Structure formats: C-alpha cells, structure tokens
Amino acid sequence: MLKIFEPSNVLYVCTCGAERPITKIYFCRHCSSLRCGECVSHEVDSHYCQNCLEYMPSPEARLKKNKCSNCFDCPSCMHTLSTRATSVQIPNPEDASKTMPKKVYYLVCGFCRWTSRDVGIADQATASGGWQEAENPHSKRISQLMEYYRILAQKEKLDRERKKINQRYSYLHISFQDKYGMSATVVRKLAGLPPTLSTLFSYSKMDPEISEQLTLPEATSDVEPLPESYLIQPLNLSSVTTLKQRLFQPQFQPVYTSELYPQNKYMHIKRSQRCKVCEHNLSKPEYNPSSIKFKIQLAAFYHIPELRIKNVSKLYLQKTCLVEMVLINPTPHLAHITFEPVENPSDDLSSVKLPPGELVLAPRDDTAEFDDVNDNQNFKDDPKLVIELLRMK
C-alpha cells in the first residue's frame, strides 16, 4: 500500500501501519509482506573498528567495552587521531657525553592540530601504540553499584518465582523436612530452585565490599562553595572545555583543556535483521569488515515496484491537475499494477480520478542496452496510461 506524503516523496505503508520510504523497509518473501524497522528483530553478527577494520568477536568486544585498542578519537574535535613519527636526542649508552637520535611516535589530530603532547602524554617507542587508557576514579564505586543492582534484580526474580511455586513444591518441602530432616536450602537445591533471598543476602554480608555497596548515596542540600579563584582570576575560555567535550568523556568530565585525553574509538557492528512473524532472515551481511556485500538482502527496492512522482501540473480554479508518476520494475518478471481508491477519502481526495484497468510493467533486463534483438524492447505499453516509457538500465 502506498501513500503520497509530498509531491516529491512517496511513503510505503507497512503491514503494521507505519509509513516509511522504500529504502527503509523490507519485503519478506516467505510472508509476502512489507516489514519496517519495527517489524524485524535485530541481531549483532560481528564487531569491527571502522578505522582499522579489525574484526573482534562479541565476547572479546564485551571484555574490551566495545572499544578498539589501536585507534583513538580526538578529545577536542572528536575526529580520528593519527600517529606521527619524530626524532629525539637521547644519551648514548656507550658514551654519556654524546647523544644519539631515536624515533618516537605521538598522536596528532589533522583537523584541530591537537596532540598527545599537549596533555603531557609520553611518546611511545613503537607505532603500534601502547598508550594506556586513563583510569576512571569512580570505577570502584560504579562496580559496587552494579553489583548492588544485580542483587536487587535477583531479589525481584526470586519474588516472581516465589509466586509461581505450586502445591507440589510445598508438599516436597514438607515431606523431605519431616522424613529426612533436610534444611530448606538443601530441599530447594534438590528441587532445582534458586536460593532464597535470605540466603543470598547472608552470602553478601560475608564480604565487606559487597555489604558496602548496599548503602546507596542520599541527596543532601549542603553544597560546597565555589573556590575563591573563580571570583578573582580572569576567565580564559580557551582553557575551559565545552559541554560537548565534557560529555564525550562522561567518566571524567574534564573542566580544563589540559585534562583532555584521547579516547579509544568505539566499535561498530554488523547486524542481521529477521522477520518477527516467520523468523526468516531479511538482511545478513558478510562477516568480513571490509566487505560491503550481503549474504541475504531482501530490501524492498529489490523486489517491489518503485513509485516516483515525476511532475505535478499547476492547479487552476475549476481545472484538473495532472500528476505524472514513474513506475520502475526491479524484478526480472512482469509486474501487474492496479490503482485502488483510498479508503474513507477526505474532501481533497474524493474527486481523484485513477487510471482504469491494470497496468503491466516490463521486466528488468540489464542486457537490454547491449542487445538490439531483446524481446523486452518490443514490449507495448498502454498508450492511455503510459505517457513516456522509462526503462531501468
């Protein structure tokens, strides 16, 4: 189903009712239906760096926090940093009174001219890197909060499972305890149930670090006063970071430009898309990061006719307006097109006159340009409907 949004834009209506251009939808040949981005499930196939095209498996990418260890982004303008080589003089190990040249490497941005030397990062002896990532001062507190919320999620899971326990497990608990004298923990283990909430928190209290994480911070109205230097010293905007630069490093949020450090470039992903109804793949790329080909590609513009608005004549008072459209058949088969009236039309669309009958589109043939005796060139269109014949080449 098609819907004209503007004279130059045509939107296709998905089976869920969403309106998308033809480049944003898929055609499931198993369901014979259109699928938009909301009607497909997305699956991550592989991780790769867009700069060095290094492939990384999902477990390794998760371990490295989805960051490339060899490529960096400029903390000032967010462009990719490059490695620059230079020569420095160092003391000669054989003769201390003499010096000898040594090649070293540092990071430089070709856009804003920021270098790793601006923040005091030492030069490296190899071009492959070795620049260590700055340690987050709040990493310990973040790990404690994550562990706390993990325990909290486990508590909610146990509460849900406790409600699902039926009479069978209650009878199993009573019979084992009366007959064999087993504790509740052993009975739950034999029944395949997770430990109780009290057991879980008793384990957590044994570790002082875990018990410390259970205390959440509380809001307070006491605010530290501003340093006196903010009121006395003149403001130098060139030494203060912008909001974009601070949010680019959320773990540090540097205030001054001298605190900017290069950030490891985030990994990109190649994803496959699967139909939610029949669970067949609609799009699946190659695993090779340098390849732009697809193993499966069921984009709509490869399988259904494309409609374009070619020309719309000016609308004068008490005169008809002529709309010229272009239909393109991307398949090697004949396409049968039928124009149907809009359901519950408005006053503006109630007087629209559609072409009668059925329109047949010639199949796509890439060799028609080079084959003079091709049968598709002799295809006869209906002169009442087709003003100009446009063929895809």
Beta-strand (E) ranges in the chain? 2-6, 9-13, 19-20, 26-28, 33-35, 40-48, 55-56, 67-73, 81-91, 99-109, 263-266, 268-275, 281-285, 294-297, 306-312, 323-328, 335-338, 358-361
pLDDT in tens, the chain (393 residues): 455 444 347 888 898 888 889 888 999 988 889 999 899 998 888 899 989 888 888 889 988 889 988 899 999 999 999 999 998 888 888 887 888 888 889 999 999 999 998 888 888 888 876 777 778 888 888 888 888 888 888 888 887 777 776 545 554 444 444 444 445 555 555 555 555 544 444 444 444 555 554 566 678 888 888 888 878 888 888 888 999 999 998 888 888 888 888 999 999 999 999 999 998 999 999 888 888 889 999 988 888 888 888 777 776 666 777 778 888 888 888 888 888 877 766 666 667 778 777 888 888 877 766 666 666 556 677 776 776 544 433
Give the Å distances, CA to CA, from 239 to 74, 235, 249, 251, 253: 16, 9, 17, 20, 14
pTM: 0.63
Q: Which residues contact 127 (CB under 8 A, 6 or more apart)?
A: 83, 85, 105
Which two structure tokens, joined as six digits, stand for 203? 């384990």
- Pairing type for strands 40-48 and 67-73 reads unpaired
Any idea what DSSP says for residue 237? G
The pLDDT value recorded for residue 258 is 87
Any idea what DSSP says for residue 267? P
The structure tokens 């999902």 sit at 58
The pLDDT value recorded for residue 184 is 55
The pLDDT value recorded for residue 200 is 46
Q: Are 148 and 216 within 8 A, CB to CB?
A: yes
Q: Are 242 and 257 within 8 A, CB to CB?
A: no
CA distance 386 to 335: 15
The structure tokens 């109780």 sit at 196
Residue type, 119: V
Q: Which residues contact 379 (CB under 8 A, 6 or more apart)?
A: 362
Would you report the helix, strand and coil content of the chain in percent, each value rounded to 5? 25, 25, 50
